[in-house]
Amino acid sequence: MKRAWVWGISILLIGGVVVIAGLFLATLLVVSPQHGCQAMWGDGVALLDLHGPIVEVDALLEQIEEARRDDAVKAVVLRVNSPGGSVGSSQELFHALRRLDREKPLVASFGMMATSGGYYAGVAARKIFALPGTATASIGVRMSHLDAEALLQWSGLKPEILKSGYFKDVGAMHRPMREDERALLLGVLGDMHEQFRATVAERRGIPREQLDPMADGRVMTGDAARAAGLIDAIGDLQDAINAAAAYAGLDPDPRVIHFEPQRPWWMALLGGRVRAAMQGVLAQFPLPGFGYYWLP
């Protein structure tokens, strides 16, 4: 009796291992570098979310690349709800989105706010939708400086700065800003502003003499931005999805493919993201002959 019980448990364990191994190998066969896991459910429009201040953009850059490489993704919608952020990060997003649009049509949908760097990233799209009351534009660059000299004197604190270059402590809080420092920083801001204006003028096809008077940092509504040529149409997210589908030759109201931030492999598996789950498994338990290139 005892031996039968042991044999039964052993058979169950072996059967479970065989089933898990079979599912794992089947996933490797289905998820190929050419087609990706999304192909199991058919073609569609990918939805990428640019939300909040633009500072650290590595996760979104990975999603952009994933959308570019996934054959099931025929078009992409960038949903923007951002007040802007770092100039460099906004430019990095813009260039990644331009590369994406050269292979797959990209449409932008502005929600509550798409200002400054949020607008900068959005002009990478071939068509921009916004709501009538969307806060957008704000084509400008800003920098803040806090002069805390009086506070430090009151507290009795006395900073000592060691530097190897004349301008190395530009913007330091322990003293007022010098005029040559102010001129230097204004020059940097002016250069960044010119890059912003030139990008908008090129992407939106607006002559500089028409763009420059309104590229002074002012915020505009969606209605005003459309009249100025800064966006293309008034519409919501579904309008943008349908427009992206039309660019790609898909039927209206297409399947929407959601790309989300990277999660632990077991959460990804529960959420149906098989490829992400297998990437996590291989990262933690690499198998001989199975590199990461199997699951791009």
Mean of all residue pLDDT scores within the chain: 82
116 contacts 62 by C-beta, under 8 angstroms: no
- At residue 162, the pLDDT reads 87
Q: What share of the chain is helix, strand, coil (3-state, %, to 5)?
A: 50, 15, 35
Count CB-CB contacts under 10 A for residue 259.
Answer: 21
> What is the number of structural domains in the chain?
2
pTM listed for this prediction: 0.75
- At residue 97, the pLDDT reads 98
The verdict on 77 and 29 lying in the same domain is: yes
CATH assignment of the domain containing 63: 3.90.226.10
Look up 10 and say whether it is catalytic. Answer: no
For the cut 60, the answer to whether the pLDDT of residue 217 exceeds it is: yes
Count CB-CB contacts under 10 A for residue 283.
Answer: 11
For the cut 50, the answer to whether the pLDDT of residue 47 exceeds it is: yes
| pLDDT: which is higher, 113 or 281 | 113
The closest alpha carbon to 193, from 144, 140, 117, belongs to 140
Contacts of 43 (CB under 8 A, 6+ apart): 72, 73, 74, 250, 254, 255
| Token pair listed for 137 | 């534009």
The verdict on 178 and 227 lying in the same domain is: no
For the cut 60, the answer to whether the pLDDT of residue 295 exceeds it is: no
Note whether residue 267 is domain-resident: no
For the cut 90, the answer to whether the pLDDT of residue 34 exceeds it is: no
**What range does the domain containing 156 cover?**
142-217
Look up 32 and say whether it is catalytic. Answer: no
The verdict on 154 and 168 lying in the same domain is: yes
For the cut 60, the answer to whether the pLDDT of residue 38 exceeds it is: no
The 10s digit of each residue's pLDDT in 114-172 is 999 999 999 999 999 999 999 999 999 988 888 888 888 898 888 888 889 988 888 88
The verdict on 114 and 29 lying in the same domain is: yes
Q: Which residue among the candidates 82, 90, 116, 138 is catalytic per the annotation? A: 116
Separation between Cα atoms, residue 111 and residue 237, nearest integer Å: 8
Kindly state the average pLDDT of the residues 73-102: 96
The closest alpha carbon to 173, from 153, 146, 144, 150, belongs to 146
For the cut 60, the answer to whether the pLDDT of residue 59 exceeds it is: yes
